[in-house]
Structure 1
């Protein structure tokens, strides 16, 4: 009897220990944790492919590395030849330095821009002057008008700065994917086109995969369409309350001043049609009600586009001020689905890789460095289900990692910030994004605290983020920590219901994060589940 009691006691003890090894939120029935596993190329279910297809060699069209002459015209000739190829095509760049002073627009599917590697012996694209000296891109005309109409300026009286915003502060790149004639981003109501509405959507539940639609005649299994939800009811619109789940935050005016623009959007794949019920591949980020006037619309996009094995270098020009960057931006991704960027190094950029209106793209094995202070490294704005993996940030940046306006269900995984680390959520109805297994190097201030949780963006798009944004297994390395007291990690003042699980490092920490965060495994690494994305993906595919 005694032996049995001991065994039972040991059993209880072991169960308790095992339970402590996995955060409670994993099995909780009451604390909602989004499924982030659908992010990335082909919903995380396929690895980035080894590209195959007809190879167009840029050298055959006059691109000559290491001759100190501009290669722009020759590279555009090679691009034209690649665009004439049916089926898969690879535009192969040579080893060595290529000089580029024009924008290279990728405007077709099944296309790979490939160098010979991102290291010193690979392909270097050197851009000697910023985009402000190039012809204004037609696709940014609406942005230019928006900036002028609303007199968007960077005002810093203490630095004698009063300058207009640059169109390249958060847009544009020397390599630029786009569909001709399609807007990069909505800025002004008067230019909002009449969407090709495929069906009206009356209902659906957050986290689930089925929606009820008005008509299915314009839909078929395999379609990639955009789900749009609107606020047509002004400042007190029901969708605003539902979007922030009753959190004690104050939504800014852009939540109701542009009723023609969707306030929530997802690019979704239709996997089943049964009468008026549609099953989509990915879960809804918010429940759908009739007042949201939700709809499925045509979404024009490119497929299977890759940019890989190269590096970008920019001169280290003086920095004037925030938002007036002249446009030393490497890559601008728009209108992409099931595509990738892989093995790219970027030096001295204003912004390394920018994304707008893309879905299920993987950006991996990226390095940013150089003495120049960047605005962004790899940022995610207006995108859905994008995976940024193994990004190493050696340079200083205003927003090293940033989820921006309208970003949903995106993941930064296995990234490391070596200088002035900041985890930014940049307002604009972004919600349900994941910082996963990130390493941040910091230096505590004189109060033994550090501003880690950024909440950027304009007041009219506040709060900084919506519910269920998640930090998982965050490793914070403090330079010369004072082990006698914990370091306070702070910064966020208006984030709704964040999930902060597994903050740990080389000292003890306290966290101040408003409003009403869920905090678990503080000062404890999550050894059993180091990556939430990997855990959820394996569970889903099992």
Structure 2
């Protein structure tokens, strides 16, 4: 392999010494090239498998749910979920096999709750949603979002398509199954609604990648608490945290990095594992260093625990697609405010968005299929979330953002996922940093120049750049529809600093263009010995 097989634009090229070498240099020389530890992502920090939940079983059929009769089951389902919510201890709401018709939102608002179907296959449980959420009553918890959209006149403007339409509140929020804490915000949009947080400690210092923070003014914190660590930029356009967040990269941060000083620009949900005077140990490593000017704090974080959604499928009518951001709300699952929870064995057909996440941490989403003829916005997207693991996701439908790390997403992982239609690996701006695309397979059809836009940088200019440092691609398997002897150029990212791209391989030769300052290693070499960075790091940590 020589330097002609790689196009570098302002990037650092690291040459793989020999094909026989099976350990990337970045794993043995971390001081020279920082690589985050992604192994804490997922249910119980990756240390426990998703459980076969046990508890009191509430059968939906006992409340009038009747499958395959062509009649709406929403009222019966609302009664069943109310009974399950009021049941003490661990509870499972069991749905029957067959088609259930749903035209209301089912809110899960308690911990230790599992919504379980009879399977995601043909003989399992199908939740059919005949009309989108735009026809339902406006959710109270999206009132701030609705005001934000109108205040800033958020519109989709496509003159070439005669489109000038207001954004939908369901473009990136909402779902027919919706976890929430009643009265808690889904997401911060407007300063004036920012509540006074219950501050549990002021945080003075801490080092990136480490677990110990120095604190003062500690109030009632104890070992085992799950709290939110918040870092702020209160120093305007030249705030020190902006420089630290992007490590001085040659990128231009957008105005949202300083226009909302009351909103934390970096946040992590953390578990307290030790308290010793002014030193607190947290379970997971810091994504950036903490300095006094960041006015960092630990605050109360209200959330649900041990919530599961499993063994079912969602289907939506194949309605015409109007435009981006004006989706009417055929969204399956909306996860907010959950910790140590899961979604597994779910198939979603013809959705606008399959599974949306916001303000969640340490959740595993696995064994998911999205398909259908409808052009989707998202499949499983990760925005405003921390340590979420998406595992074994197969995407057969065309999607604007098939895999997407969105605003404020940190230390999340897509693992063993496969995209069959128009793949794009999207990082969607908004101070998202240190996320991992791990052992992803994509099926591409290069353009006439033998190139393919694989690395997406979505999102608005006011939240640019597309991502912060140390976003990582590990063992990316690219399958070309009609491979030739000529190398295929994989490109698309222009403002993603200090990415780690290790092990791009497949059934053709590839060149990679990723800007600025990417670390690239093991190009055109499979990582047979370490196919998954997440699995490797987890195994190493648990030793």
Structure 1 residue 481: Cα displacement: 1.5
4+ runs of 1 displaced by more than 6 Å?
16-19
The corresponding residue for 1:278 is 280
Which of the residues 361, 364, 368 maps onto 2:363?
361
Distance (Å, rounded) in 2 between the aligned partners of 1:63 and 1:455: 44
The corresponding residue for 1:387 is 389
Superposed CA deviations along residues 401-422 of structure 1, whole A, max 9, x for unmatched, are: 0000000000000000000000
The corresponding residue for 1:23 is 24
Q: How does 1:215-364 map to 2 (within 5 A)?
A: 215-364=217-366
Cα pair 2:202 2:218 within 8 Å, conserved:
no
The corresponding residue for 2:4 is none
Cα pair 1:103 1:173 within 8 Å, conserved:
yes
Which of the residues 57, 60, 64 maps onto 2:59?
57
Distance (Å, rounded) in 1 between the aligned partners of 2:251 and 2:233: 18
The corresponding residue for 1:165 is 167
Distance (Å, rounded) in 2 between the aligned partners of 1:27 and 1:46: 28
Is 1:214 matched with 2:216? yes
The corresponding residue for 1:83 is 85
SS at structure 2 position matched to 1:241? helix
Cα pair 1:59 1:93 within 8 Å, conserved:
yes
Superposed CA deviations along residues 185-215 of structure 1, whole A, max 9, x for unmatched, are: 0000000000000010000000000000003
Cα pair 1:215 1:276 within 8 Å, conserved:
no
Superposed CA deviations along residues 519-540 of structure 1, whole A, max 9, x for unmatched, are: 0000001111000000000000
The corresponding residue for 1:532 is 533
Cα pair 2:345 2:366 within 8 Å, conserved:
yes
Which of the residues 93, 118, 121 maps onto 2:120?
118
Task: Give the TM-score of the pair, scaled to structure 1.
Answer: 0.96
Is 1:417 matched with 2:419? yes
The corresponding residue for 1:131 is 133
Cα pair 2:357 2:385 within 8 Å, conserved:
yes
Distance (Å, rounded) in 2 between the aligned partners of 1:224 and 1:27: 33
Distance (Å, rounded) in 2 between the aligned partners of 1:225 and 1:212: 16
Q: How does 1:366-445 map to 2 (within 5 A)?
A: 366-445=368-447
The corresponding residue for 1:7 is none
Structure 1 residue 19: Cα displacement: 7.5
SS at structure 2 position matched to 1:170? coil
The corresponding residue for 1:463 is 465
Is 1:522 matched with 2:523? yes
Structure 1 residue 482: Cα displacement: 1.9
Count how many residue pairs are aligned between Structure 1 and Structure 2: 526
CA RMSD of aligned residues (A): 0.8
Superposed CA deviations along residues 353-388 of structure 1, whole A, max 9, x for unmatched, are: 000000000000000000000000000000000000
SS at structure 2 position matched to 1:355? strand
The corresponding residue for 2:496 is 495
Superposed CA deviations along residues 275-302 of structure 1, whole A, max 9, x for unmatched, are: 1000000000000000000000000000
The corresponding residue for 2:38 is 36
Distance (Å, rounded) in 2 between the aligned partners of 1:142 and 1:232: 23
The corresponding residue for 1:3 is none
Superposed CA deviations along residues 108-132 of structure 1, whole A, max 9, x for unmatched, are: 0000000000000000000000000
Distance (Å, rounded) in 2 between the aligned partners of 1:179 and 1:499: 37
Distance (Å, rounded) in 2 between the aligned partners of 1:66 and 1:159: 40
Is 1:510 matched with 2:507? no
Distance (Å, rounded) in 1 between the aligned partners of 2:83 and 2:38: 39
Distance (Å, rounded) in 2 between the aligned partners of 1:352 and 1:217: 40
The corresponding residue for 1:486 is 487
Superposed CA deviations along residues 305-342 of structure 1, whole A, max 9, x for unmatched, are: 00000000000000000000000000000000000000
The corresponding residue for 1:13 is none
Structure 1 residue 216: Cα displacement: 3.1
Task: Give the TM-score of the pair, scaled to structure 2.
Answer: 0.96
Superposed CA deviations along residues 87-108 of structure 1, whole A, max 9, x for unmatched, are: 1000000000000000000000
Structure 1 residue 18: Cα displacement: 9.2
- Structure 1 spans left out of the alignment, 5+ residues: 1-15
Cα pair 2:498 2:517 within 8 Å, conserved:
yes
Distance (Å, rounded) in 2 between the aligned partners of 1:286 and 1:74: 48
SS at structure 2 position matched to 1:474? strand
Cα pair 1:179 1:300 within 8 Å, conserved:
yes
The corresponding residue for 2:6 is none
Structure 1 residue 17: Cα displacement: 6.3
Distance (Å, rounded) in 1 between the aligned partners of 2:86 and 2:255: 47
Cα pair 1:225 1:267 within 8 Å, conserved:
yes
Distance (Å, rounded) in 2 between the aligned partners of 1:137 and 1:501: 43
- Structure 2 spans left out of the alignment, 5+ residues: 1-16
Of the two structures, which has the highest relative contact order with CA contacts closer than 8 Å and spacing of 6 or more? 2
Which range is displaced more, 208-217 or 280-289? 208-217
